[in-house]
Structure 1
Amino acid sequence: MGLSPGRTAAVLAIDAGNSKTDAALVAADGTVLGQGRSGGFRPPTTGVAAAVDVLAEAVAGAVRQAGAGAFGDSADSGDSGDSGGPVAAHVSACLANVDLPVEERTVGAALEARGWGRTVAVHNDTFALLRAGLPPGAEPRGVAVVCGAGINCAGLLPDGRTHRFLALGKLSGDWGGGAGLAAEAIWYAARAEDGRGEPTALATAVPEHFGLRTMYELIEGVHLGRVPVARTQRLAPLLFAVAAGGDAVARSLVDRLADEVVALAAVALERLGLLDEEVPVVLGGSVLAAGHAQLDDRIRMLLTARAPKAVPRVVTAPPVLGAALLGLDHAGAPEEARSRTRQHYG
């Protein structure tokens, strides 16, 4: 996948979550030359080498889409994503499941070995959300909370200092995220049906979602392998729909998620000395970007109480935009280049 001399892009931007990976080749002037998509990035499950193979599929797609107009004869439609030379001057990779410095180093070394760029920077995917949500021309100062399949938060100061959380699930004290909400919905529904818990509409809505009549049938189906576990982790939209209908249990779970989002943001603001400054709190990920009124209203109410000067901003642009902007920052690109990239992603 090597490119002709002088034809490399300025940035190969990669954003990888639990369910999908996006890659983009971006020119020095901010033009998006090509994009690719592949599956989720899950090194704890698959191992680093296999996880990076998934990234390679998205990278190859970006090179193919860029085509001969950008790269001469080097964009091979049959390319697997391994490189005979760099496709960009710099690789800016923002990745889920890279939560510890040792993981950044390990994955960074694996990306360097692929030879996609002359330099490589690896960040947790929360930093892509934060960068995408900063106002144009603003210095890198703020906090981001991402809530998709999981939940995480990161804060950043202009001098490079950050505040992060381990974000390893219950092991590190986390609660929430789409998968976590789904598990709670099933737990409350099961207990409502068998009499140990309080009544909730989830007891009928959850099994009906799978075409079943009872929670007993659903639990049996999961236990015996007839219902894939992965399907049970996608119930967050159903939970929000039941909450919107007034169900007390579902509404309490939505409230608790808002509490967790604000707790993450407020602690990050406090640890970075930003509680008394007007600073963006960027909210993103599939759950926070979905526009759930109860969740949005409670987050704003609680955030106003704990950090009155914080300015919540919901980001719906693809997180790969943030990875691209970080790469253009690294390249010293002018603001007009970053503006061009922003315009591409709407």
Structure 2
Amino acid sequence: MGVGTSVLAIDAGNSKTDVAVIDTEGRITGTARGGGFQPPLVGVEPAVDVLAEAVARALAEAGADSVGHVSACLANADLPVEERQLAEALRRRGWGASVEVRNDTFAVLRAGLLEDAEPRGVAVVCGAGINCVGMLPDGRTARFPAIGRISGDWGGGGGLAEEALWHAARAEDGRGGPTALRETLPAHFGLPSMYALIEALHLGRLSPARRHELTPVLFATAAAGDAVARSLVDRMADEVVAMSTVALDRLGLLGEEAPVVLGGSVLAARHPQLDDRVRALLSERAPKAEPRVVTARPVLGAALLGLDQVGAPAQVHARVRAHYESGVHRR
């Protein structure tokens, strides 16, 4: 496969899926958005059915039945064996002559690498969860299982919300020290106390998804000077830097100039305390690393990975990047 191959790019997260069809000249000829991709909850085939609905709309807009290559960056493809299983499931759909599946963190990494001819660097994504990957032009990668506490993970927006609730609950009943989170967390939902918030979450009056709303409350409480909230933000920065420096070291990049791409809703928000601490710690532990925050939609990274795979020329990469970085995501 080589120059002149069309690409179907898929970026599928837990909450939404973005699809784009790229022609041989780098034009975006079809796009669609669909639901979240959650094979652990619904099974592989039903999860791929969600992708199929969005893919069908994008292909129809592009006036195509299939493409030359499918580049899919998928949430919950956390282990290489899962990537292989999902790649086989996508091949059975007949969307393209070839299929490559990667964890969705690779999409963020590729979107944040400006040297389109040489994918080289590390990315940390901190959204609902946290993950880190790195890659070199020769195809070598560094990655973590990133499947929760059993694989050593801590943090992300969901993890920060849980920690904030834990500290606030203990502050209210006396098991823990004082923290303003005791007041700010229930107040966000118009509730009078942590007991009321615990009851609302436990009995389902507040959906579990709404816990993610507490992460910005945590950061606001930290910005107001609360010591417990600030300690959680500092720990989040420590985790980001620990993951990125380990990945850099595994790839032999710790002592070299290399980008460290920071993505996901928590890092893209550029909270001063978190952002400043990440940069300060990186300057100590990886002085030549270049931290950069990426805000482009991750489907850009899936598209660029697909173009890498088919050997598309630099001008095709540039055209796709310009489309997504212009802020206009229509044909």
TM-score (norm 2): 0.94
Is the partner of 1:114 in helix, strand or coil?
A: coil
Contact 1:9–1:26 (CA under 8 A) maintained in structure 2: no
The one-letter amino acid paired with 2:289 is: A
Could you say which residue in structure 2 is the equivalent of 1:15? 11
Could you say which residue in structure 1 is the equivalent of 2:201? 222
Could you say which residue in structure 2 is the equivalent of 1:277? 256
Matches of 1:203 and 1:63, distance apart in 2: 50
The one-letter amino acid paired with 1:234 is: E
The one-character-per-residue Cα deviations of 1:278-299 (angstroms, maximum 9, x if unpaired) are 0111110111111111111000
The one-letter amino acid paired with 2:32 is: G
* Identity across the alignment (%): 68
Query: Which of 125, 129, 135 is the matching residue for 1:156?
Result: 135
Could you say which residue in structure 2 is the equivalent of 1:49? 45
Gaps of 5+ in 2: 326-331
Matches of 2:241 and 2:199, distance apart in 1: 37
**CA root-mean-square deviation:** 1.4
Is the partner of 2:303 in helix, strand or coil?
A: helix
Query: Which of 56, 61, 73 is the matching residue for 1:94?
Result: 73
Is the partner of 1:13 in helix, strand or coil?
A: strand
Query: Which of 217, 223, 230 is the matching residue for 1:251?
Result: 230
Contact 2:148–2:154 (CA under 8 A) maintained in structure 1: yes
Offset of residue 212 of structure 1:
1.1
Question: Does residue 36 in structure 1 map to residue 32 in structure 2?
Answer: yes
The one-letter amino acid paired with 1:43 is: P
Matches of 2:310 and 2:71, distance apart in 1: 11
Query: Which of 111, 126, 131 is the matching residue for 1:147?
Result: 126
The one-character-per-residue Cα deviations of 1:227-254 (angstroms, maximum 9, x if unpaired) are 2122113321111111111111111111
Matches of 2:218 and 2:242, distance apart in 1: 22
TM-score (norm 1): 0.90
Offset of residue 329 of structure 1:
1.1
Matches of 1:61 and 1:236, distance apart in 2: 34
Could you say which residue in structure 2 is the equivalent of 1:232? 211
Gaps of 5+ in 1: 1-7, 75-85
Change (3 A) 1:9 1:331: closer
Matches of 1:144 and 1:331, distance apart in 2: 23
Change (3 A) 1:122 1:137: closer
Could you say which residue in structure 1 is the equivalent of 2:329? none
Query: Which of 120, 139, 148 is the matching residue for 1:169?
Result: 148
Could you say which residue in structure 2 is the equivalent of 1:81? none
Contact 2:107–2:305 (CA under 8 A) maintained in structure 1: yes
Matches of 1:314 and 1:58, distance apart in 2: 28
Question: Does residue 295 in structure 1 map to residue 274 in structure 2?
Answer: yes
Is the partner of 1:287 in helix, strand or coil?
A: helix
Matches of 1:143 and 1:178, distance apart in 2: 20
Matches of 2:160 and 2:5, distance apart in 1: 40
The one-character-per-residue Cα deviations of 1:18-69 (angstroms, maximum 9, x if unpaired) are 11111111111111112111121111111111111111222133234x2xxx
Offset of residue 260 of structure 1:
0.1
Offset of residue 166 of structure 1:
0.5
